Amino acid sequence: MKKIIIIGGGFAGISAVSKLRQLGETVDIVLIDSKEEFNFLPMLPDIIGRRIRPDFLEFKLPDFCQKTGAKFIKDEVIKIDLENNTLFSSKDSYHYDYLIIASGSETNFYGNEAAKKHGFKLDSTKDAIAILDQLGKNIFDTFIIAGGGYTGIEVATNLRKYLDHKKLNQRIVIVERAPSILGPLPEWMKQYVNNNLKNLKIEVLTNVTLDKIEADRVALSNKAEFNKAMLIWTAGVKTADFIFNLNKEKTPQGRLKLDEFLRINNNCFAAGDAGTFSYKDKPLRMAVQFSIYQGELAAKNIMSSIRGSNLKAYKPVDLGYVIPMANNVSCGNIFGINFRGLFATALHYFMCIYRSRGFRNRMGIITGLLRGGAK
Ligand SMILES: Cc1cc2nc3c(=O)[nH]c(=O)nc-3n(C[C@H](O)[C@H](O)[C@H](O)COP(=O)(O)OP(=O)(O)OC[C@H]3O[C@@H](n4cnc5c(N)ncnc54)[C@H](O)[C@@H]3O)c2cc1C
């Protein structure tokens, strides 16, 4: 029986497992993840601002695997030997016939050890809980958000919502090294977001970097200094180290360049944030919609390879995106149409509820949004 290993139980990985099970009774499916819980990443900032309970954004991967007839192994992959079809962790090795790399991405500290030591990241429900715990101490005068991309903006607005709820009024400062926030997005959107941030008394510093980071002190390249400051680092992401060490073509973020069938060789596929795929001459952004579909297609193409039939080329469909802001003044572009305000917020959460799994989690998110977060 052919053995298919999937590294990573995120959006791409669980879609691949479900699709494999649907397509074939006669394969061994093994899901390896370094943690036992699936995490619904797009709503992590809502744990802070909208008080969504973290357990509604999780489910147990061993239970999911048991239901789908797959085997779950909790382990961290540290190396892949593509020549010999073998994976390695620090304690074990695993042989595969087919592999799907779906290990997503993680915070990139760009080798800044001080940022890694003193800054807070937001890669998992555990990270969100760590941020909430720190906020609960109420010992900071300023919150510095490093990075003015989607995540930085979402975190900043959720932080303001959290502080408003507690009737606190500390400074929130987004520090962005580029000349503007939200990099390649359209000008109207940047303007819209900037206006909203201003209304929320969130300061934005552009063309500025972090010069010195200490336990509760941050100094910036514009000579500004903040004492009693909490740093939240949302300045970029990268793929896992084992991908960087693969001798295959990658982007600077370490995303693997894939052929039209989502492969890096005949029996190794990648899906989700771990891979990159060009669409209309631009790399596809990291997003849930692409991860899910790529996971399913990688699974289908593996089954076609096993059966000796033709593989299907990946043709991305981009439904669009929303930049959700916690005061419900969001903006986005869906099916080529620009949306603003509450409607854009509603579209975002509609997609989140639709993409989340299980009745309990969906109801938890809906009631959480209605109770604490909809205002
Ligand atoms: C705060 C935040 C907000 C976001 N908001 C949105 C949004 O609004 N809309 C949107 O479309 N996208 C959003 N995204 C991006 C989206 O979540 C990702 O594109 C998506 O999760 C990628 O799915 P994936 O399956 O590739 O990886 P992930 O969902 O990251 O899953 C990867 C899995 O691999 C595991 N893993 C990693 N390394 C190893 C290893 N070495 N060994 C074993 N297991 C490993 C991890 O534990 C994890 O379970 C957001 C992301 C974040 C962090």
- How much is the pLDDT for 374? 45
48 domain-assigned? no
- How much is the pLDDT for 372? 66
Q: Are 40 and 320 in contact (CB under 8 A)?
A: no
Are β-strands 330-334 and 337-340 bridged in parallel, bridged antiparallel, or unpaired? antiparallel
Q: Are 217 and 139 in contact (CB under 8 A)?
A: no
- Residue 188: C-alpha distances to residues 125, 199, 235, 333, 339 (Å): 32, 17, 22, 11, 11
**35 C-alpha to center of ligand 1: Å?**
13
53 domain-assigned? no
Q: Where are the alpha helices (DSSP H) in 41-95?
A: 44-49, 61-68
**32 C-alpha to center of ligand 1: Å?**
15
23-53 residue pLDDT tens: 877 899 999 999 999 999 999 999 999 999 9
Q: Domain range for residue 7?
A: 2-34+75-105+239-318
Q: Are 15 and 297 in contact (CB under 8 A)?
A: no
Where does a domain end: 299, 318, 337? 318
Answer whether 11 contacts ligand 1 (Cβ < 6 A): yes
Residues 17, 144: one domain?
A: no
Answer whether 323 contacts ligand 1 (Cβ < 6 A): no
**CATH number, domain with residue 153:** 3.50.50.100
**Could you identify the atom of ligand 1 that is nearest to the CA of residue 10?**
31
Q: Which protein residue has the closest C-alpha to ligand 1 atom 5?
A: 42
Q: Are 89 and 75 in contact (CB under 8 A)?
A: yes
Q: Are 94 and 86 in contact (CB under 8 A)?
A: yes
Residues 196, 335: one domain?
A: yes
Residues 314, 169: one domain?
A: no
Answer whether 272 contacts ligand 1 (Cβ < 6 A): yes
Q: How many other CB atoms are there within 10 angstroms of residue 328's CB atom?
A: 20
59 domain-assigned? no
Q: How many other CB atoms are there within 10 angstroms of residue 83's CB atom?
A: 7
Residues 340, 200: one domain?
A: yes
201 domain-assigned? yes
Average pLDDT, the chain: 96
Q: For residue 13, what is the enclosing H or E element?
A: helix 11-23
**Tokens describing residue 91:** 């304690």
Residues 16, 96: one domain?
A: yes
- How much is the pLDDT for 373? 54
Answer whether 286 contacts ligand 1 (Cβ < 6 A): yes
Residues 203, 144: one domain?
A: yes
**What proportion of the chain, given as a percentage, has pLDDT over 70?**
99
- Count of domains observed in the chain: 2
**Could you identify the atom of ligand 1 that is nearest to the CA of residue 104?**
27
Residues 248, 359: one domain?
A: no
**Tokens describing residue 181:** 């926030």
162-192 residue pLDDT tens: 999 999 999 999 999 999 999 989 999 999 9
Answer whether 107 contacts ligand 1 (Cβ < 6 A): no
Q: For residue 18, what is the enclosing H or E element?
A: helix 11-23
223 domain-assigned? yes
**CATH number, domain with residue 257:** 3.50.50.60
**274 C-alpha to center of ligand 1: Å?**
9
Residues 180, 135: one domain?
A: yes
54 domain-assigned? no
To the nearest 10 degrees (0 to 180), the angle between helices 150-165 and 187-199 is: 20
- Residue 239: C-alpha distances to residues 142, 194, 254 (Å): 30, 30, 5
Beta bridge partners of 229: 142
Q: For residue 62, what is the enclosing H or E element?
A: helix 61-68
322-375 residue pLDDT tens: 999 999 999 999 999 999 999 999 999 999 999 999 999 999 999 999 986 544
Where does a domain end: 276, 303, 318? 318
In whole angstroms, give the CA distance from residue 93 to residue 66: 22
**105 C-alpha to center of ligand 1: Å?**
6
Q: What mean pLDDT do residues 85-103 have?
A: 97
Q: For residue 145, what is the enclosing H or E element?
A: strand 142-146
131 domain-assigned? yes
Answer whether 7 contacts ligand 1 (Cβ < 6 A): yes
Residues 217, 261: one domain?
A: no
In whole angstroms, give the CA distance from residue 285 to residue 53: 28
99-110 residue pLDDT tens: 999 999 999 999
Residue 191, C-beta contacts closer than 8 angstroms, at least 6 positions apart: none
Answer whether 332 contacts ligand 1 (Cβ < 6 A): no
Where does a domain end: 276, 300, 318? 318
260-317 residue pLDDT tens: 999 999 999 999 999 999 887 888 999 999 999 999 999 999 999 999 999 999 999 9
Residues 209, 170: one domain?
A: yes
Residues 226, 140: one domain?
A: yes
Residues 341, 327: one domain?
A: yes
**41 C-alpha to center of ligand 1: Å?**
6
11 domain-assigned? yes
Answer whether 333 contacts ligand 1 (Cβ < 6 A): no
In whole angstroms, give the CA distance from residue 159 to residue 311: 46
Residue 282, C-beta contacts closer than 8 angstroms, at least 6 positions apart: none
**273 C-alpha to center of ligand 1: Å?**
7
Answer whether 32 contacts ligand 1 (Cβ < 6 A): yes
